[in-house]
């Protein structure tokens, strides 16, 4: 129970289904937090909802796990010019690994969360599908779940749209019924921001901004903070045609920029592949951001390479790239640097 409306209703739905339910909240981040699911207020909301539902509530301190598996890799990725997805890593290493093991050790049969996704069991195999509410679907950040995890997880609100989730919460009088959704990285405050967080933990290097001919056209205060695809904050002269970050080279303190057409590519290489079931090759739909569109493509398993049917905006190295067939998640991986023919390295 994260302290949000989705996990609150998930707990209520599991009770309605006749299960014995215990609420649990992870305390992950000991530093400043004013958003996401790590603040003191969120833990308090989860505890009070558990009281309203009449269920026990545990708080598990997984701060060391969170620091090792999420925060430190987040900093390390930026230090070499990648753009990580900390929510994916939290799900991979903490929520559906550390917490799932804790639930099993305590004798619980399953772990239910408030994610908008669905689990199905067909032909003896577990399947992961998009949530019914396409606007709130969270299957992208769950693509790393395999057969072992899916056998022990439940997503009760995946069959409901968000309006219905809020309606049910209001009908039950839950304090989270009108609570806004969390959007930002939970361990970075809205006041200090990413630059301050990273600057306290890794050296930030001023860098040159160059065009495709290598001519310097601007400067940035920290190359580690630039993301492929970024348009603003590149130190470029005003009034010129819009240019975008095409590549970030921390070692040489250089950001290469170009026009929108230069940012397009038809390929993205993947690393650290995870499959829901077995590796899948051939025609797929590919989604490269949490709420982006799924684009037609083919996947080459041996080369770990996605080839899009039409040019797309380049995926920033470090971002998750997820493969689908229809509404079913097949698996996914982490975008690597631009492949051959895909633009500047």
Q: Is residue 186 among the annotated active site residues?
A: yes
Active-site residue, from 24, 37, 87, 186:
186
Q: How far apart are CA 66 and CA 94, in angstroms?
A: 7
Choose the catalytic residue: 24, 37, 38, 90. Answer: 90
Give the chain as a 3 state SS string.
CCCCHHHHHHHHHHHHCCCCCCEEEEECCCCCCCCCCCCHHHHHHHHHHHHHHCCCEEEEECHHHHHHHHHHHHHHHHHCCCCCCHHHHHHHHHHHHHHHHHHHHCCCCCEECCCCEEEEEECCEEEEEECCCCCCCCHHHHCCCCHHHHCCEECHHHHCCHHHHHHHHHHCCCCCCCCCCCCCCCCCCCCCHHHHHHHCCCCCCCEEEECCCCCEEEEECCHHHCCCCCCCCCCCCCCCCCCEEEEEECCCCEEEEECHHHHEEEEEEEEEEEECCCCCCEEEEEECCCCCCCEEEEEECCCCEEEEEEEEECCCCCCEEEEEECCEEEEEEEECCCCCCCCCC
Q: Decide if 90 is catalytic.
A: yes
Nearest Cα to Cα of residue 145 among 182, 169, 165, 117? 117
What are the φ/ψ torsions at residue 257 (nearest 5 degrees)?
-120, 160
Residues with a catalytic annotation lie at 90, 186
């Amino acid at each position: 129970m994260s302290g949000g409306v989705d996990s609150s209703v998930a707990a209520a739905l599991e009770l309605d289904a006749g299960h014995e339910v215990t609420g649990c909240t992870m305390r992950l981040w000991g530093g400043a937090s004013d958003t996401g699911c790590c603040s003191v207020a969120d833990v308090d909301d989860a505890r009070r909802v558990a009281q309203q539902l009449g269920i026990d509530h545990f708080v598990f301190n997984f701060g060391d796990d969170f620091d090792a598996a999420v925060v430190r890799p987040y900093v390390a990725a930026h230090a070499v010019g990648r753009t990580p997805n900390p929510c994916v890593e939290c799900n991979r290493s903490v929520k559906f690994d550390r917490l799932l093991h804790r639930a099993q050790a305590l004798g619980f049969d399953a772990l239910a969360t408030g994610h908008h996704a669905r689990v199905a069991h067909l032909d003896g195999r577990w399947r992961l599908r998009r949530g019914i509410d396409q606007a709130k679907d969270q299957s992208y950040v769950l693509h790393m779940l395999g057969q072992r995890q899916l056998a022990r997880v439940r997503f009760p609100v995946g069959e409901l749209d968000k309006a219905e989730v809020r309606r049910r919460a209001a009908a039950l009088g839950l304090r989270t019924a009108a609570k806004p959704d969390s959007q930002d990285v939970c361990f970075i405050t809205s006041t200090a921001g990413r630059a301050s967080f990273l600057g306290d933990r890794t050296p930030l290097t001023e860098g040159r901004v160059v065009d495709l001919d290598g001519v310097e056209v601007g400067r940035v205060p920290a190359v580690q903070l630039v993301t492929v695809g970024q348009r603003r904050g590149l130190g470029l002269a005003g009034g010129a045609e819009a240019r975008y970050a095409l590549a970030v080279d921390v070692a040489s303190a250089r950001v290469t920029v170009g026009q929108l057409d230069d940012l397009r590519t038809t390929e993205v290489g993947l690393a650290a592949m995870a499959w829901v079931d077995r590796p899948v090759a051939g025609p797929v739909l590919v989604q490269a951001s949490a709420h982006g569109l799924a684009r037609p493509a083919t996947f080459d398993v041996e080369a770990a390479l996605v080839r899009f049917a039409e040019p797309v905006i380049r995926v920033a190295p470090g971002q998750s790239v997820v493969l689908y067939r229809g509404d079913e998640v097949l698996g996914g991986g982490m975008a690597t640097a631009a492949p051959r023919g895909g633009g500047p390295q």
